[in-house]
Amino acid sequence: MVDHLANTEINSQRIAAVENCFGASGQPLALPGRVLLGEGILTKECRKKPKPRIFFLFNDILVYGSIVINKRKYNSQHIIPLEDVTLETLPDTLQMKNRWMIKTSKKSFVVSAASLTERKEWISHLEECIKHLLTKTGRQPCTEHAAPWIPDKATDICMRCTQTKFSTLTRRHHCRKCGFVVCADCSRQRFLMPRLSPKPLRVCNLCYRQLLAEKKKEAEAGRRQAEPIRSAIQGYEPSSGDDSDKSDDEKAEHWPADTEFYTSEVSWSSFHS
């Protein structure tokens, strides 16, 4: 299908129509060899509540945005390189059926289709495009993914201290490392995670301690690797100072960091041909 549609006038017109719907708020989408394969409306599980989003599948990227007027105006455009995508099917819930997770290194989120057939079509087309891209570039599938945010309504209490109850005055926050819903006291720390953002992000106290320990371990490993090089330099005397961070006593957590909230134990709207 990609070879058949690439560099055709109909494909160019379809991509131009998508660009026009996003208007000045969107990025240009036309590139040599890029093909629009299909589009459809999926329900995206957002922080507050599930919301409909328009999705466009290209042979190398997945584009989605908010619907202002269907087929006429969209905004809040997001572009995801398919090489960075991993998919995971999820069991149905009372609120959402035909669910699956789109996982990337920067953002992971849950979507649902109107029917089981539609979900199968989406996943099939996505996996085919991802496989083709990875084969073409020689890259390995992505193994590090951002944690999906637990929806606000999933809990009425902080998932770390399990003591603070959320209310109109007591806000919910999300740890950018584990995605848990936490209170302000349990998420006062910030940590730089370059994979997610150039700025330090809010993390819960447990993830902060874990990230500090990982950073310290990496620094120590780097020093050990550099030691033979230092000792080989004539006249060089390595410093005898050894700064170490004091570690806090870790108390038992009611919500372990590795708790799996999304597990896989349990109409594609249009085709372009």
CATH number for the domain spanning 119: value is: 2.30.29.30
**Is pLDDT larger for residue 268 or for residue 79?**
79
Cα–Cα nearest to 147, from 112, 108, 175, 186:
108
Question: Against a cut of 0.75, is the pTM above it?
Answer: yes
Q: Is residue 103 part of a domain?
A: yes
**Pairing status of strand 99-103 against strand 108-112:** antiparallel
Radius of gyration of the chain (CA): 23
pLDDT tops 50 at residue 24: yes
Identify the pLDDT of residue 98: 97
Using alpha carbons only, give the angle 165, 213, 252 rounded to the nearest 5 degrees: 40
Q: What is the dihedral sign for C-alpha 180, 183, 186, 188?
A: positive
pLDDT band (50, 70, 90) for residue 196 = confident
**Is pLDDT larger for residue 140 or for residue 234?**
140
Are 21 and 127 in a shared domain? yes
pLDDT band (50, 70, 90) for residue 269 = very low
Domain C-terminal end among 145, 170, 199? 145
**Pairing status of strand 189-191 against strand 99-103:** unpaired
Q: Is residue 95 part of a domain?
A: yes
User: Residue 96: which domain range?
Assistant: 3-145
Domain C-terminal end among 100, 128, 145? 145
The pLDDT > 90 percentage for the chain reads 65
> Which residues, 6 or more positions from 68, have their beta carbon under 8 angstroms from its beta carbon?
74, 75
Cα→Cα distances 176→99, 140, 216, Å? 22, 25, 20
**How many whole angstroms separate alpha carbon 182 and alpha carbon 155?**
10
Q: Is residue 263 part of a domain?
A: no
Cα→Cα distances 89→50, 98, 162, 264, Å? 17, 8, 29, 6
Identify the pLDDT of residue 257: 60
pLDDT tops 80 at residue 232: no
Task: Check if the beta carbon of residue 79 is closer than 8 Å to that of residue 63.
Answer: yes
126: which 2 tokens? 């996505």
**How many whole angstroms separate alpha carbon 106 and alpha carbon 60?**
17
Identify the pLDDT of residue 144: 83
Amino acid symbol at 104: T
Identify the pLDDT of residue 244: 45
158: which 2 tokens? 């902080």
Mean pLDDT computed over every residue of the chain? 86
Identify the pLDDT of residue 94: 85
**How many whole angstroms separate alpha carbon 171 and alpha carbon 169?**
6
Using alpha carbons only, give the angle 105, 212, 225 rounded to the nearest 5 degrees: 90
**How many whole angstroms separate alpha carbon 205 and alpha carbon 159?**
11
Cα–Cα nearest to 39, from 19, 54, 59, 24:
54
| pLDDT, tens only, 137-191 | 888 887 788 999 999 988 999 999 999 999 999 999 999 999 999 999 999 999 9
| pLDDT, tens only, 207-231 | 999 999 999 998 888 888 877 666 6
CATH number for the domain spanning 180: value is: 3.30.40.10
Domain C-terminal end among 197, 218, 239? 218
Are 153 and 112 in a shared domain? no
The pLDDT > 70 percentage for the chain reads 82
Burial of 258 (0-12, 13-18, 19+ CB in 10 A): exposed
Q: How many domains does the chain have?
A: 2
